[in-house]
Amino acid sequence: MKHILMPIIGFLIAPPIGALVWVLMEGGVGEVISGITAWAVMVSIILGAVLGAPTYLYLRAKQLVSVFSLLIGGAIISMIPWVLLSHPGSTTKSVVGQTIIIENGSYTTEGIIYQIKFIAQFGLCGAISGMVFWLIVRSLVTSKGTGRSKAAPVL
């Protein structure tokens, strides 16, 4: 029962924590009670269920669940949608503040730097969610809370 319940609890707790970190980074404490928080939490839970659960099941089947794999997996999973959505498409010009992001349908140098910073924020929040998920499910992977893996490494 613990092998089923702990990952479910992890998928319900870890993604919203990363989403709340993003809300705090983007809008500060005043935004925590706003509608953007509800959307961020819902999107994070959906991404966790659609992309995170199959990834975790794959890692568990291959016995690759570790703090590192969950940190990297969380970062990648949280960046994928924003990488896909950041294609300029038919946009000919986009300006953020005083910075031209897209001009003539292509990213400017400043636009590429802006996008990398923007997407990296999601990666950081995903890594935080991965760490929280690890803290919840680590007892399934380690032996009696010692931090050592149950299986010896294969040489």
- How does pLDDT run across 29-39, given as a tens digit for each residue? 776 677 778 88
Residue 89 lies in a domain: yes
pTM (predicted TM-score): 0.80
pLDDT of residue 150: 53
**Residue 145 pLDDT:** 47
Q: What total of structural domains would you count in the chain?
A: 1
Cβ pair 59, 69 in contact under 8 A: yes
- Higher pLDDT, residue 3 or 78: 78
| Lowest-pLDDT choice from 28-42, 91-105, 108-122 | 28-42
Q: Based on the number of CB atoms within 10 Å of its own CB, is 150 exposed (0-12), middle (13-18) or buried (19 or more)?
A: exposed
Mean pLDDT value across the chain: 84
Range of the domain at 24: 2-141
- The reply to whether 19 falls in a domain is yes
Let me know if residue 60 belongs to a domain. yes
- pLDDT of 41 > 60? The answer is yes
149 in any annotated domain: no
